[in-house]
Amino acid sequence: MQNFEVNSNQIDKIKKITSDEKDFRIKNLELFKASGFPNKKLEDWKFSDFKYIVDSNFNELKIKETSFNQQNIDLISDFEHNYILLVDGNLQSSNFNYEEKSKIIINSFDKSTDYKTTSNSLVNLNHALAENGYSLEIAKNYKFKKVLVIYNLFTKDLKNIILNNKNRIKLNENSELHTIEYTINESKSKFINNVYENIILEKNSKLKNLTIQKNKSDGFFHKFLKCKLLLNSNYLNLIFSSGLKFNKIDIECDLINENCECNILSALFLKKNEHQEIKTCINHLAPNCKSYQKVKNVLSEESKGVFQGKIFVKDIAQKTDAYQLSKALLLNDEAEFNSKPELEIYADDVKCSHGSTSGNIDEDALHYLMTRGLTKNDSIKLLIKGFLNDVVDYIKNPSVKKFIENKFEEQINGH
Amino acid sequence: MLEIKNLQVSINSKQILNGLNLSIKPGELHAIMGPNGSGKSTLANVLSGKSGYEVSGQINFEGKNLKGVPVEERAQKGIFLAFQYPLEIPGVNTNNFLKTSLNSVLKANGKKEVDTLSFLKLVKEKSLELGIDEKFLSRQLNVGFSGGEKKKNEILQMKILDPILSILDETDSGLDIDALKIIAKGVNLSRDKKKSFLVITHYQRLLDYIKPDFVHVLSGGRIIKTGHGELAEELEKTGYTKLN
């Protein structure tokens, strides 16, 4: 691909813009222009050379013009839920019929420019161009009664488009929310979805977020997730991912006050030449916080899985309890898994550990299952499910759990 | 039912079984005893169809040569192997697994598959018959099971899949007397004119509870002596060395 160039008049097209916002966008565009798409020379991208991936998959890239058609989708009927519908990242509609609406603020895009300068050029690009997304804020003491499903629909006319969307979730004191991000793909062509997501959990609040795809996609996904956890807050992120050509989720989580808890768990199933990376940076900035990360990958054919996980413990963050584990099950010789754990600890009274394993299907286990009449194929599927199952067990709501199990099983069986 | 002729088995060019002959008729229970390394488990593995062995000679099951018949088809035809060391399979629910295997066996034999309700009824019935707690079936397959629970689970699987030839590979090893009785009960209750058993054991103790029709001594990859119950008692006193 020829160089992807973004003209600064792209920013001039943005309507209702303050001069501060404009400066912020221009500054970030300059940063992006200076470095271009990230490549493997950068430590954070050493296993996922995004520039190379873009160059070899796209002849050209265009920025989505902001015109969105009304879209209809089939809602999930397995369990009652609230929902918001995003069409190519743009907030189209929302429905909070199960909740007290006065406790919820939903807007289409958060215009704040209060972001630290970053060296991640995809984030720079997002800061420069993002005009769509959602901003959700839950009032103090309000606990959601039902799950909120975020339908993330990608329409069919996205050929060679790069989308830049920005989302924000803020939970005020003592509030609780459970979301399911459900990606539906209608695009038959390649596109890039570059998302920045901002999560703020105030004192005693609790957020559970689950991600899963309805179907496979030729989209290339990058999401940078910035979470800030305040006193006693609790964050759980469950990532089930399968059938995406490229997916990198970069999570930076700041545990700002005491007694926060951050759990990141993922169950990934990759095939063909799919490429997925989970990168985390958990910053323990206060004492008595807990973080737990478990990343499980099943890799077949020529797929590639990457986990780069960092735990940072500041000198004052005594009694930190941080754990990180990555496990990969490789189904053949061509599949690849890269794991880079990193611990940076400045406090002396902490519990921090990490582990990483990768291996093949256990032939003896396979034989055992087959002696009970199961075919080799069914036995392998059972072992894959068994391998990924402990992540599914984190879902407490039985009907949601059943739904996710079925979806994930479809994806495994369909491969 | 099972006819083994001149079975030669080697693994990585190391000869393990060396011209083994054995014939098991319907309704018979054969015990195989033998010193460590004599090839008992290899025999069990080869009968189950495990890969990695070089096999020559003939194994006929129900009149058909088993050569090239894959593991799962042997199971579907009614061969069951109770493992010496049952494997732990994390994340796989024991009940779900058992139901899936029962249904694949039923399906392969052109029979109607069972639904969850009738499966659970069957499990309850068989557990009760054996006097074992069915609770461990809601756990992950063999994960965190005690040695005894693992072996009991093997016997329960045997009862549920209802094979015509059951091979018990040192199922009695490491069991206390109560667990041993459960295992024996499981076998004894299944015995009938059509079902056959091949029980591999080190100790005569098991044969106090399960009465074999024949006792064979396997040594150096061959059956060197065949007798009845009293042969096991004799071995208990004299050991294997005198036989050689």
Amino acid B35: pLDDT: 86
* pLDDT tier at B146, thresholds 50, 70, 90: confident
Whether A53 contacts A246, CB under 8 Å: yes
Q: What is the residue-wise DSSP string for chain B? A: -EEEEEEEEEETTEEEEEEEEEEE-TT-EEEEE--TTSSHHHHHHHHHT-SS-EEEEEEEETTEE-TT--HHHHHHHTEEEE-SSPPP-TT-BHHHHHHHHHHHHHHHTTPPPPPHHHHHHHHHHHHHHHT--GGGGGSBTTTT--HHHHHHHHHHHHHHH--SEEEEESTTTT--HHHHHHHHHHHHHH--SS-EEEEEES-THHHHHS--SEEEEEETTEEEEEE-HHHHHHHHHH-SGGG-
Question: In the predicted model, is pLDDT for residue B244 greater than 60?
Answer: no
Out of B86, B90, B104, the one facing A374 most closely (by C-beta) is B104
B-facing residues of A in 346-385 (CB < 8 A) are: 362, 364-365, 367-376, 378-379, 382-383, 385
Please judge whether A372 and B86 are an interchain contact, meaning their C-beta atoms are less than 8 angstroms apart: no
Please judge whether A376 and B92 are an interchain contact, meaning their C-beta atoms are less than 8 angstroms apart: no
Which has the higher per-residue pLDDT, B36 or A65?
A: B36
The secondary structure of B66-85, three-state, reads CCCCCHHHHHHHCEEEECCC
Cα dihedral B200→B204→B205→B207 (10° resolution)? 70
Burial of B173 (0-12, 13-18, 19+ CB in 10 A): middle
B87 touches chain A (CB under 8 A): yes
Amino acid A194: pLDDT: 97
Amino acid A2: pLDDT: 64
Amino acid A110: pLDDT: 81
Mean pLDDT of all residues belonging to chain B: 91
Please judge whether A364 and B157 are an interchain contact, meaning their C-beta atoms are less than 8 angstroms apart: no
Residue B50 with chain A: CB contacts under 8 Å: 367
Whether A297 contacts A305, CB under 8 Å: yes
A145 touches chain B (CB under 8 A): no
Whether A172 contacts A138, CB under 8 Å: yes
The radius of gyration of chain B's CA atoms, rounded to the nearest angstrom, is: 18
Residue at token pair 């494997």: B87
Residue B158 C-alpha, separation from nearest chain A C-alpha, in angstroms? 9
Which CA distances in Å does B49 have to A406, B18, B43, B61, B88? Answer: 33, 18, 10, 12, 20
ipTM of this complex? 0.95
Reported pTM: 0.88
Amino acid B131: pLDDT: 82
Residue B26 C-alpha, separation from nearest chain A C-alpha, in angstroms? 21
Distance CA(A212)–CA(A386), nearest Å, equals 18
Q: For each of chain A's 415 residues, which pLDDT tens digit applies?
A: 667 888 888 888 888 889 999 999 999 999 999 999 999 999 999 999 999 999 999 988 988 776 667 888 999 999 999 999 999 999 999 999 999 999 999 999 888 888 888 999 999 999 999 999 999 999 999 999 999 999 999 998 899 999 999 999 999 999 999 999 999 999 999 999 999 999 999 999 999 999 999 998 999 999 999 999 999 999 999 999 888 899 999 999 999 999 999 999 999 999 999 999 999 999 999 999 999 999 999 999 999 999 999 999 999 999 999 999 999 999 999 999 999 999 999 999 999 999 999 999 999 999 999 999 999 999 999 999 999 988 998 999 999 999 999 988 888 887 4
Amino acid A111: pLDDT: 83
Residues A237, A238, A241: CA angle, nearest 5 degrees: 130
> Which class is domain B2-243?
alpha beta
Please judge whether B75 and A388 are an interchain contact, meaning their C-beta atoms are less than 8 angstroms apart: no
- Condensed to tens digits (0 to 9), the pLDDT of residues B82-128 reads 999 999 999 899 998 999 999 999 999 999 999 999 999 999 999 98
